[in-house]
Amino acid sequence: MKLDLNIDDYRITGSGKRFSMKKMPTKVKNLHRDEAHYDELLAQYRTEIGDMQAMLYAHDRYALLLVFQAMDAAGKDSTIKHVMSGIDPQGVEVHPFKRPSDDELDHDYLWRTSTRLPPRGRIGIFNRSYYEEVLICQVHPEIVTKYQRLPDSAKKNMGNLFDKRREDIAAFEAYAHRNGIRIVKFMLNVSRDVQKERFLERIDTPAKNWKFNAADVAERGHWNDYMQAYDDAINATATKESPWYVIPADGKKNMRLIVSAAIIEEMKRMDLHWPVLPDAQQADLAKSRAMLLAEK
């Protein structure tokens, strides 16, 4: 059962006109008829992703890294949970990245994420990532000047610093791709109005109070700055090999279905196949089969 959507509508590869967040929708018509239809679609996608991950593991030549970025309350955690819940836990590694530790600040800014790249045969998931270095740090450059232990010369021209970081990230992703790691980035695009609704729900629902952080409300004042930072990051790093998907996030069910479809599309592009054993091992299989059939 296929969804009535063109996944390329959300896929950004850096070709064509300059990308702009303003042109991307935060909401689309429902892709499911009702709750039962949604559950059926999502279950089918989970099964297909699980089957392809098994092939990825057996093939043992490639890895897949899924990077999730978004404004607060867009639904990163729930999307990862719902989309990937059907995958063999041995085949998936999830890494959430929060404020850097002192040890991480003593290394280059890519160190804490590069050490967690998925090994061959696995799917890695980054809940936030090295992109924070050109998103929140660009919106709040004082994070760099006050807390990041860079040479003074690197801090003299902050605009140039973020340009260079975006160049570094693009080069890092190209390097990963050449080594068999396909990196696919998701921006879950929630509207400012829906974010407000979800913040209020967190405040008004005792079971969700723990999710609320007053600082998140203050960040809403920088909304346009964040959208500009996303424009800059996506324009600098979107390629055919490491694309961005900007997913409408006002409807969580639609978002999960589109993310699922995108993951499958990208795994199909990886040319995965079951390994073909050498002739000697094929002969051993035939011999073992004959022995098993000969048992009484």
Q: Give the pTM.
A: 0.94
- Reported as a single tens digit per residue, the pLDDT across 37-62 is 999 999 999 999 999 999 999 999 99
Instruction: Note whether 272 and 55 are within 8 A (CB).
Output: yes
Q: Is residue 4 pLDDT above 90, yes or no?
A: no
The mean pLDDT value for 201-226 works out to 93
What pLDDT, on a 0 to 100 scale, did the predictor assign at position 267? 96
HSE-CB at 42 with a 13 A cutoff on CA atoms is 23
Q: Is residue 161 pLDDT above 70, yes or no?
A: yes
What pLDDT, on a 0 to 100 scale, did the predictor assign at position 65? 98
What pLDDT, on a 0 to 100 scale, did the predictor assign at position 157? 85
The mean pLDDT value for 94-119 works out to 96
Residue 140 makes CB contacts below 8 A (sequence gap 6+) with: 222
- Reported as a single tens digit per residue, the pLDDT across 69-100 is 999 999 999 999 999 987 888 899 999 999 99
Angle between helices 223-237 and 158-178 (to 10 degrees): 40
What pLDDT, on a 0 to 100 scale, did the predictor assign at position 1? 56
Q: In what order do the strands lie in the sheet with 63-70?
A: 11-12, 244-248, 181-189, 63-70, 123-127, 92-96
Q: To the nearest whole percent, how much of the chain has pLDDT over 90?
A: 86
Closest CA to 20 of 182, 246, 180, 241: 246
Q: Report how far residue 277's alpha carbon sits from residue 203's, in angstroms, rounded to the nearest whole number.
A: 58
Question: What does pLDDT average to over the chain?
Answer: 94
pLDDT band at 2 (very low <50, low <70, confident <90, very high): low
| 3-state SS, residue 189 | strand
Q: Report how far residue 197's alpha carbon sits from residue 190's, in angstroms, rounded to the nearest whole number.
A: 11
| 3-state SS, residue 114 | helix
* Per-range mean pLDDT, top range of 84-93, 174-183, 281-290: 174-183
pLDDT band at 110 (very low <50, low <70, confident <90, very high): very high
Closest CA to 179 of 108, 99, 119: 119
* Stronger pLDDT, 36 or 278, i.e. the higher one: 36
The mean pLDDT value for 282-288 works out to 92
pLDDT band at 277 (very low <50, low <70, confident <90, very high): confident
What pLDDT, on a 0 to 100 scale, did the predictor assign at position 271? 86
Q: Is residue 142 pLDDT above 70, yes or no?
A: yes
Q: Is residue 25 pLDDT above 90, yes or no?
A: yes
